[in-house]
Amino acid sequence: MGLQIIISGGQTGVDRGALDACLELEFPCGGWCPAGRAAEDGPIPHRYPMIELRSPYYDDRTRRNIVESDATLIISNGKLSGGTLLTANFAKHIGKPVFTFELSPFFIDRTMEDLVDFLEAFQVETLNVAGPRGSQWDKARETTCHIIKQLIRQLYP
């Protein structure tokens, strides 16, 4: 059936970049977020179609998005750490496939092909997108938005 929805936790950076791309292209999106729509910059704006958990903890949101998805895409600009590392480790721990999109200007086209192959191989319908928050990588949002728009356009020309 193919990719049907992209979810994330709504945090600044990679999470919002994925959601922004989906909203711009009118592709289904959403995900779970902490109570109060908490993020590092304050409450997550209501234009993002998030479902609030009762828990205020980011880790609970991270785990719920992994559990509710078929696979996780991590977009990274370096070594995984913090919540991004937690995401990779938890997904692997529960047996969910993980694709790490490591940025390099020399390999972005090949990495996109590999990502499409990954989605097809695992028959991913719900994709969780995760990575560094905005305070950890200042280009996370715009870079992710570009990658996700390219992915959607490639899957649905």
Q: Has residue 119 got a pLDDT over 90?
A: yes
What burial class does residue 123 get, using C-beta atoms within 10 Å of its C-beta: 0-12 exposed, 13-18 middle, 19+ buried? Answer: exposed
Confidence of residue 106 (pLDDT cuts 50, 70, 90): low
If phi over 0 gives left and psi between -120 and 50 gives alpha, with beta otherwise, what is residue 123?
A: left
Secondary structure (3-state) at 127: strand
The DSSP string of 25-78 is HT--EE-EE-GGG--TTSSPPTTS--EE-S---HHHHHHHHHHTSSEEEEEESS
Domain spans of the chain, in order of start? 5-155
28-51 pLDDT per residue, tens: 999 999 999 999 999 999 999 999
Q: Which two structure tokens, joined as six digits, stand for 77?
A: 């600009």
Say which CATH class 5-155 falls into: alpha beta
Identify the pLDDT of residue 105.
Answer: 61
Q: How many helices (H) and strands (E) does the chain have?
A: 5, 7
Residues 6+ apart with CB under 8 A from 116: 151, 154, 155
Query: What residues form DSSP beta bridges with 33?
Result: 52
